[in-house]
Amino acid sequence: MSNRFEIQQELTDTQGDLNRLCQQEARQAKSNSGVGAVTIEPRYGTEMNALREKCSQLRMILDAMEASED
DSSP track, 20-64: HHHHHHHHHHHHH--SS------SSHHHHHHHHHHHHHHHHHHHH
**% of the chain beyond a pLDDT of 90:** 60
Least reliable range by pLDDT among 6-15, 37-46, 47-56: 37-46
Q: Is the pLDDT of residue 4 over 70?
A: yes
* pLDDT for res 55: 97
Least trusted range by pLDDT, from 2-6, 37-41, 47-51, 55-59: 37-41
Q: Provide the pLDDT confidence category of residue 35 given band limits of 50, 70 and 90.
A: low
Return the domain boundaries, the chain: 2-69
Local structure of 65: helix, strand or coil: helix
The CA distance from 36 to 42, in Å, is 19
Query: pTM (2 decimals)?
Result: 0.79
